[in-house]
């Protein structure tokens, strides 16, 4: 045993332990998908490459410092791995640097965070304990290589890295250029190299505003004029002119609950009825388009008809930018604008962002009375939230635009037994099992809210918009979702699962119907302005009014997937939108032509935000500002 110790330095053992552990986490805890033997090889190789890269640095240190370095590096690396695992269980995504700046949100996670920690996670820390124990015997495990030996060890590092990158590029050409999907990056270069890449991208994007100039806004303007802008006005233009707008962002509500039953009972009986009524316009093929910002991304998209960022949340990273938001436009048309949300005002940096977007008032948690009886999960229950909001709503100057953000139907979907009117679902996913009772509770709260509006005399003079903000059930629960839906969750079905409720209820309107056209959150702003009869000729948006026939034929997702009239695209596979089958090679060319437009549109939206390009644009005149105007606005 003594001879073995001298032959195998601790940095090599640490590489083996840590690499093997990381591979097992990738394969069996993150459940990263493997499509071919090359992907399996790369997934197995990159944990050892990353571990060797870090632990081999120890050979340049003195023996007593080597052991200390290996101990703490193993611990820090394990914590990074574990935090990504916990994050992935909720968001099916990996941590980015902008997400770390949202750390004040963690204080509000509470039970959500605890539900993401599993007993078997202790396995992840076993090698840290072993390395910590062995490192105490410095003489047995340290090395004292010559300078040539140290250089050789380091050279092996670069050889391994080069091999990893070459294999990754062979498996997925232009991997670092088409980096919408962070899972592909992690599978190909490892979670630690991914974080280095993320840090590089963060530095690059932070510099974009500094070097941006007015010429870039012209490219965005030309694209929008050619692809999304329309002079058409449908018969619904101005149908809600002068009416109040009550916009309800329904937390985590997805379309698969509509018309669904658990043990013979409807999950959402009120919404099921509402979408069929003659005074409701319903879009069954409406997709959320959020990314890491989740609810805040949903708000940002609706308010600005721009896409969220691929990393972090715009509400945090670019809250000081210039925007031409929906609240601002409505303010200019004599609307009073407000937000109701019974949560900490700083969560998602809302207090700062709302002020910049032009909201007149934010009714946060301090505006509501919370008790032990009406508070659970993430805070004030939806029924009490709506009921307590009415007194404020009645006192607002009319017409008003008021946004309500619900809380009860929020992960981890906690609901006291005495408040539940629906059985739990029976699957291997606790999250999915509890999803349905909270969905039912929120549906009941919405029904009661409609009655509250009628009792307050606000119903007839308002239009009420219901929209799911983002998914509630992530890919982590695909096995249970497959059981519920009775079908495999492939790329096609994953995209279809991103549909969320979107219905516009107009009291007194008797020509409501179901519109089967594809739609997304980016279309909400121009659609609402159209209904209110407010022209927006000088606006720059990537969405289009949903009642106009002259509109683009695709809906882009933040990860680069899309839905068009003919195709659904996900993970480099094109599916027929009607059948769900993969298309032929001939048809794939047409599908990929749409993909180019999607990538272009996402890229232009990113450049708008990263470069704060709206500071170069005069929305009153619909043209680029002069240098003098830009200088004044920057000040």
pLDDT single digits (tens) 409-465 = 999 899 999 999 999 999 999 999 999 999 999 999 999 999 999 999 999 999 999
92 plus 172 within the same structural domain = yes
Active site residue 295: yes
537 plus 426 within the same structural domain = yes
Query: Where do the H-state alpha helices sit in 135-255?
Result: 138-141, 147-171, 182-189, 191-211, 215-227
**Position 100 in a domain:** yes
Domain end position, chosen among 161, 191, 207: 207
Q: Which H or E element spans position 337?
A: strand 336-340
Q: Of 139, 192, 132, 199, whose CA–CA distance to 6 is shortest?
A: 139
Is residue 242 within 8 Å of 558, Cβ to Cβ?
Answer: no
158 plus 286 within the same structural domain = no
156 plus 51 within the same structural domain = yes
pLDDT greater than 50 at residue 135: yes
Name the band, by pLDDT with cuts 50, 70 and 90, for residue 377.
Answer: confident
pLDDT greater than 80 at residue 338: yes
The residue-averaged pLDDT of 590-601 equals 95
Residue written as token pair 């026939």:
549
186 plus 294 within the same structural domain = no
Domain end position, chosen among 160, 187, 207: 207
**Position 616 in a domain:** no
pLDDT greater than 70 at residue 633: no
Angstrom distance (rounded) from CA 415 to CA 437: 7
The residue-averaged pLDDT of 291-302 equals 94
Name the band, by pLDDT with cuts 50, 70 and 90, for residue 164.
Answer: confident
pLDDT greater than 50 at residue 121: yes
160 plus 84 within the same structural domain = yes
262 plus 149 within the same structural domain = no
The fraction of the chain above a pLDDT of 90, given in percent, is 63
Name the band, by pLDDT with cuts 50, 70 and 90, for residue 180.
Answer: low
User: 159: alpha, beta or left, given left = phi > 0 and alpha = psi -120 to 50?
Assistant: alpha
Name the band, by pLDDT with cuts 50, 70 and 90, for residue 139.
Answer: low
**Position 364 in a domain:** yes
47 plus 196 within the same structural domain = yes
CATH of the domain at 326: 3.40.720.10
Predicted local distance difference test score (pLDDT) of residue 31:
78
Predicted local distance difference test score (pLDDT) of residue 103:
59
536 plus 414 within the same structural domain = yes
**Position 585 in a domain:** no
The residue-averaged pLDDT of 162-184 equals 73
Query: What is the domain range of residue 356?
Result: 242-548
Predicted local distance difference test score (pLDDT) of residue 170:
80
446 plus 326 within the same structural domain = yes
Q: Say if pTM beats, i.e. exceeds, 0.95.
A: no
Total tally of structural domains belonging to the chain: 2
**Position 224 in a domain:** no
256 plus 203 within the same structural domain = no
188 plus 301 within the same structural domain = no
Predicted local distance difference test score (pLDDT) of residue 554:
95
Q: Of 495, 562, 549, whose CA–CA distance to 307 is shortest?
A: 562
**Position 468 in a domain:** yes
**Position 522 in a domain:** yes
Domain end position, chosen among 516, 548, 580: 548
pLDDT greater than 70 at residue 259: yes
More confident residue, 320 or 492: 492
Single out the catalytic residue among 295, 317, 438, 527.
Answer: 295
Q: Is 228 helix (H, G, I), strand (E, B) or coil?
A: coil
**Position 246 in a domain:** yes
The residue-averaged pLDDT of 350-370 equals 94
């Amino acid at each position: 045993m003594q001879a073995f110790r001298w032959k195998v330095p601790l940095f090599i053992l640490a590489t083996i332990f840590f690499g093997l552990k990381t591979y097992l986490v990738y394969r069996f805890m993150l459940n990263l998908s493997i499509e071919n033997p090359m992907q399996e090889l790369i997934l197995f190789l990159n944990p050892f490459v990353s571990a060797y890269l870090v632990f081999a640095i120890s050979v340049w240190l003195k023996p007593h410092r080597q052991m200390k370095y290996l101990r703490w590096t193993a611990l820090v690396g394990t914590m990074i791995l574990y935090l990504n695992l916990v994050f992935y269980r909720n968001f099916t995504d990996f941590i980015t640097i902008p997400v770390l700046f949202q750390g004040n949100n963690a204080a509000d996670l509470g039970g959500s965070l605890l539900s993401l920690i599993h007993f078997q996670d202790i396995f992840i820390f076993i090698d840290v304990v072993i390395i910590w124990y062995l490192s105490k015997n410095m003489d047995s495990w340290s090395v004292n290589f010559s300078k040539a030996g140290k250089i050789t060890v380091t050279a092996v590092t670069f050889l391994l890295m080069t091999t990893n990158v070459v294999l990754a590029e062979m498996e997925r050409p232009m991997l670092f250029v088409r980096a919408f999907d962070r899972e592909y990056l992690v599978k190909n270069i490892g979670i630690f190299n991914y974080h280095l890449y993320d840090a590089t991208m963060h530095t690059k994007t932070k510099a974009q505003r500094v070097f941006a100039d007015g010429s870039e806004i012209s490219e965005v303007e030309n694209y929008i004029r050619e692809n999304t802008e329309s002079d058409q006005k449908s018969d619904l233009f101005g149908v809600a002119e002068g009416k109040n707008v009550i916009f309800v962002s329904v937390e985590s509500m997805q379309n698969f609950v509509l018309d669904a039953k658990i043990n013979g009972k409807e999950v959402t009986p009120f919404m099921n009825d509402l979408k069929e009524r003659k005074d409701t316009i319903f879009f069954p093929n409406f997709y959320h388009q959020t990314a890491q910002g989740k609810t805040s991304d949903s708000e940002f998209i609706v308010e600005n008809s721009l896409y969220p960022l691929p990393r972090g949340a715009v509400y945090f990273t670019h809250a000081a930018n210039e925007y031409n938001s929906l609240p601002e436009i409505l303010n200019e048309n004599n609307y009073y604008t407000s937000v109701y949300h019974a949560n900490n005002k700083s969560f998602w940096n809302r207090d700062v962002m709302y002020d910049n977007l032009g909201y007149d008032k934010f009714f946060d948690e301090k505006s509501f009375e919370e008790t032990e009886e009406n508070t659970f999960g993430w805070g004030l229950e939806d029924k009490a939230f709506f009921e307590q909001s009415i007194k404020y709503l009645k006192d607002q100057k009319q017409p008003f635009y008021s946004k309500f953000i619900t809380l009860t139907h929020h992960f981890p979907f906690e609901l006291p037994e005495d408040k539940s009117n629906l059985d739990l679902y029976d699957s291997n996913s606790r999250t999915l099992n509890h999803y349905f009772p909270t969905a039912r509770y929120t549906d009941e709260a919405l029904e009661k809210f409609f009655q509250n509006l009628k009792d307050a005399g606000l119903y007839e003079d308002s239009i009420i918009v219901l929209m799911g903000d983002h998914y509630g059930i992530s890919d982590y629960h695909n096995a249970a979702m497959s059981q519920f839906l009775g079908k495999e969750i492939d790329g096609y079905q994953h995209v279809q699962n991103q549909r969320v409720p979107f219905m516009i209820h107009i009291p007194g309107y008797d020509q409501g119907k179901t519109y089967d056209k594809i739609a997304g959150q980016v279309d909400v702003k121009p659609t609402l302005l159209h209904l209110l009869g407010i022209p927006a000729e000088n606006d720059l948006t990537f969405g289009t009014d949903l009642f106009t026939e002259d509109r683009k034929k695709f809906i882009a997702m933040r990860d680069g997937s899309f839905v068009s009239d003919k195709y659904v695209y996900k993970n480099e596979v094109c599916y027929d939108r009607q059948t769900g089958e993969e298309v032929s090679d001939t048809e794939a060319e047409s599908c990929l032509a749409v993909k180019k437009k999607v990538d272009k549109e996402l890229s232009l939206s990113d450049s708008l935000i990263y470069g704060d390009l709206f500071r170069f644009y005069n929305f009153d005149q619909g043209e680029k500002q002069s240098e003098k105007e830009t200088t004044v606005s920057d000040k």
